[in-house]
Chains A and B, each alone.
Chain A
């Protein structure tokens, strides 16, 4: 094997790829060749380091210098200065990283503990050799040659690992149920149907470290006595699908999938199944129905999948991030794993932070880290000096956490107490410019859209709730609306068939809990102080800025604007239908929405 003295890692995750990182890679390779350095320096295509906000990201080893927002025109400087002369290009170093070269010490990474993301951004995801070089498939080897299946399950049980897909069910217990279930055929499935809007951590693991999922599924299969696995992945993630296919083929080629793995009598085959754009397929029974080739509708439980799952056989279904933890737990032990995180929720959690935050991206922190640390210390706070209002976790099944709870340690149980939930890890930050009634409406619209229609509480209930919210945001709210919303929410929670239906009222309930005054303001005063709900805003002309050009008068469809040429105009609120035509027509920015 050829040894290089320096490596240039370029991110090729979805975010950086859409910011032209493939072109960067080509230009770097050409430049290195031109300087006859190609025997010394290797360019490696990696996946997401998490700093999506500052992409494309280039990391140069051995220094570990992290360059952000690198564009094509910066390539020559990196080559001439850093690669040829060994001088770090300070100008391009990641913003929070002044005076310090290595990325491990940057603010963004300091508080992180990367277990599930251990290889993301470090190895080339399309090379099985690089995965193996970082202890890849060693856990599978250890399991198959030195452990019984009971020992495997005991170890996972002992680690206290809980499902990272949202509900936090202990992974070991799931495996134990399936291991005990009687059946001639058992299945291991991986839920890679990451549907929560604003969540992209599973995609990063699939794109950055696909082999860890394959290895973990094989370990799970050995534990429960299965020989067939399925990965159900969203069709919306083309790069992830491509890399999973490459990884499966590589593993098959060298005998890490297929018959008699590691010379034992354990055999395991793995197939990929593509989703087709249905959010409900992230629910476990719906996902299995979809793999069977049917409409992805949930089934009543019991029977639980551990007894009757895919094709009516005992099945386990684990989320991508959960599986990514397995090989590490096997190698380093349950005891080690329990030293990280909290007593009830050991380990780490990956969050996709987005919305009104400076460092959008992926972070992995120990359970028990506070929201404040995630948002301010790692996320870099709120842009434009705005005030934090709430953080939304758990997607359409979750809720909002307001300022007063910023210091609560994040773990499964605390979030449920706050009326939200962990969910898969999407964390959307909202500032004073976001209207909470509008956000609740947004999530309910999502639930209406994605309800599979099988059970009436979800199909009809969410639609009724959405209707009321829509009315409120249009200034047609009535006394009693809040009470009706609460009653509907209660009925849906009690009667819906699947987890997604049961949790769909959560966004409304949690915003009602913390931001009831905003609902009351919309209903009683017909006002939206955040300035979002268009129908509740008044269009006003600022007299000092108005030059009297009459453009707005000409476009107003209801003749609500009057005024003489070269004199400030006036909008008559009683005639205004709030169409916004005047605002667009005004060349002086003299019309505002308030």
Chain B
């Protein structure tokens, strides 16, 4: 990051730069939180405190915003984000069976992360690829027209990566 940075704390430095860039922007908090999550992967209390001081917004307000929006997380996420689409088009085509199968295979519930920090599972609302229903995304990869039997095989691809 910033070549002039002296503090040796790369990520903190990056965040300070982001705060500096957004300081005079109206409604800066949410864009800053997006970038902070991009940098750290999640938004722990220390990060929220740094933003609070930098933008001069109370920590209570920041915590309120972080917990309001489902995009933001205060817990670290697994290496692979499994997103099972539960939009209407996927639901009527059996997405709940797919979700059950992921729960069974990963032995975690929605919103949880496996103990080896490899997989996090989320149920999301419509990725907008309804032509592929039912759809699951794992990080950038999209799997469409799934059947419950496909789940195991898909997960195998990521297990040894």
Cα(A450)–Cα(B86), bound, Å = 13
Cα(A394)–Cα(B121), bound, Å = 28
Most central of B29, B65, B126, B131 by chain A CB within 10 Å = B131
Contacts of B142 in A (CB 8 A): 18
- Interface pair B127/A236, CB less than 8 Å apart: yes
Query: A278 and B31 in contact (CB under 8 A), knowing A197-B125, A360-B89?
Result: no
**Nearest chain-A residue to B28 (Cβ)?**
A293
Is B27 at the interface (CB under 8 A from chain A)? yes
Contacts of A430 in B (CB 8 A): 92
- Interface pair B87/A198, CB less than 8 Å apart: yes
Q: Mask for B93-137, Cβ within 8 A of A = 1, else 0? A: 100000000000000000000000000000011111111110000
- Interface pair B87/A197, CB less than 8 Å apart: yes
**Nearest chain-A residue to B144 (Cβ)?**
A18
- Interface pair B92/A356, CB less than 8 Å apart: yes
- Interface pair A278/B70, CB less than 8 Å apart: yes
Partner of A200, one of B65, B70, B126: B126
**Nearest chain-A residue to B61 (Cβ)?**
A294
Contacts of B133 in A (CB 8 A): 354-355, 360
Q: State how many angstroms separate the Cβ of A277 from the closest Cβ of chain B.
A: 4
Most central of A290, A293, A296, A442 by chain B CB within 10 Å = A293
Q: Which chain A residues numbered 202 to 245 have a C-beta less than 8 Å away from chain B?
A: 203, 235-237
- Interface pair A52/B131, CB less than 8 Å apart: yes
Q: Mask for A279-307, Cβ within 8 A of B = 1, else 0? A: 10000000000111111100000000000
Q: Which chain B residues numbered 56 to 74 have a C-beta less than 8 Å away from chain A?
A: 61, 64-65, 68-72
- Interface pair A442/B88, CB less than 8 Å apart: yes
Q: State how many angstroms separate the Cβ of B138 from the closest Cβ of chain A.
A: 12
Contacts of B129 in A (CB 8 A): 14-15, 18, 52, 200
Cα(A517)–Cα(B127), bound, Å = 34
Partner of B69, one of A18, A277, A356, A434: A277
Cα(A197)–Cα(B34), bound, Å = 23
Q: State how many angstroms separate the Cβ of B98 from the closest Cβ of chain A.
A: 15
Is A171 at the interface (CB under 8 A from chain B)? no
Q: State how many angstroms separate the Cβ of B65 from the closest Cβ of chain A.
A: 6
Is A160 at the interface (CB under 8 A from chain B)? no
Cα(A292)–Cα(B61), bound, Å = 13
Q: Mask for A165-207, Cβ within 8 A of B = 1, else 0? A: 0000000000000000000000000000011111110010000
Q: Which chain B residues numbered 22 to 39 have a C-beta less than 8 Å away from chain A?
A: 26-31, 33-34
Contacts of B86 in A (CB 8 A): 197
Is A4 at the interface (CB under 8 A from chain B)? no
Q: Mask for A1-17, Cβ within 8 A of B = 1, else 0? A: 00000000000001100
- Interface pair B30/A273, CB less than 8 Å apart: yes
Query: A355 and B92 in contact (CB under 8 A), knowing A198-B126, A293-B30?
Result: yes
Most central of B28, B69, B128, B133 by chain A CB within 10 Å = B128
Is B42 at the interface (CB under 8 A from chain A)? no
Most central of B87, B93, B124 by chain A CB within 10 Å = B87
Tally of A-B residue pairs with Cβ under 8 A?
124
- Interface pair A197/B31, CB less than 8 Å apart: no
Query: A200 and B88 in contact (CB under 8 A), knowing A292-B26, A295-B68, A446-B125?
Result: no
Contacts of A352 in B (CB 8 A): 130
Contacts of B91 in A (CB 8 A): 197, 442
**Nearest chain-A residue to B83 (Cβ)?**
A236
- Interface pair B33/A198, CB less than 8 Å apart: no
- Interface pair A276/B92, CB less than 8 Å apart: no
Is A90 at the interface (CB under 8 A from chain B)? no
Cα(A293)–Cα(B26), bound, Å = 8
- Interface pair B31/A273, CB less than 8 Å apart: yes
Partner of B124, one of A236, A292, A439: A236
Contacts of B88 in A (CB 8 A): 197-198, 354-355, 392, 395, 426, 428, 442-443
Is A53 at the interface (CB under 8 A from chain B)? yes
Query: A14 and B68 in contact (CB under 8 A), knowing A197-B88, A291-B27, A293-B30?
Result: no
Q: Which chain A residues numbered 435 to 486 have a C-beta less than 8 Å away from chain B?
A: 439, 442-443, 446, 450, 452
Q: State how many angstroms separate the Cβ of A499 from the closest Cβ of chain B.
A: 18
Most central of B33, B93, B130, B133 by chain A CB within 10 Å = B130
- Interface pair A277/B130, CB less than 8 Å apart: no
Is A381 at the interface (CB under 8 A from chain B)? no
**Nearest chain-A residue to B91 (Cβ)?**
A442
Cα(A452)–Cα(B64), bound, Å = 12
Cα(A430)–Cα(B91), bound, Å = 11
- Interface pair B93/A198, CB less than 8 Å apart: no
Q: State how many angstroms separate the Cβ of B116 from the closest Cβ of chain A.
A: 26
Query: A274 and B30 in contact (CB under 8 A), knowing A395-B88, A430-B92?
Result: yes
Is A372 at the interface (CB under 8 A from chain B)? no
- Interface pair A276/B71, CB less than 8 Å apart: yes
Cα(A291)–Cα(B91), bound, Å = 31
- Interface pair A236/B128, CB less than 8 Å apart: yes
Query: A296 and B68 in contact (CB under 8 A), knowing A197-B86, A355-B92, A426-B88?
Result: yes
- Interface pair A55/B68, CB less than 8 Å apart: no
Contacts of B30 in A (CB 8 A): 273-274, 276, 290, 293
- Interface pair B89/A197, CB less than 8 Å apart: yes
Is A19 at the interface (CB under 8 A from chain B)? yes
Partner of B131, one of A291, A361, A428, A450: A361
- Interface pair B130/A198, CB less than 8 Å apart: yes
Give 30 A-B contacts (CB < 8 Å), ordered by A residue.
A14-B129, A15-B131, A18-B144, A52-B131, A194-B128, A197-B87, A198-B87, A198-B89, A199-B126, A199-B128, A200-B126, A203-B128, A235-B34, A273-B31, A274-B34, A276-B30, A276-B69, A276-B71, A290-B30, A292-B26, A294-B61, A354-B89, A354-B131, A355-B133, A356-B92, A361-B131, A428-B88, A428-B89, A443-B88, A450-B125
> Could you list 14 further interchain pairs (A-B, Cβ under 8 angstroms) beyond the known A198-B87, A291-B27?
A15-B130, A197-B88, A273-B31, A274-B34, A277-B69, A277-B71, A278-B69, A292-B26, A293-B29, A356-B92, A361-B131, A439-B92, A450-B125, A452-B68
- Which residues does A use to contact B, with CB under 8 Å? 14-15, 18-19, 52-53, 55, 194-200, 203, 235-237, 273-279, 290-296, 311, 352, 354-356, 360-361, 392, 395, 426, 428, 430, 434, 439, 442-443, 446, 450, 452
The 3 closest A-B pairs by CB, nearest first: A52-B131, A18-B142, A354-B89
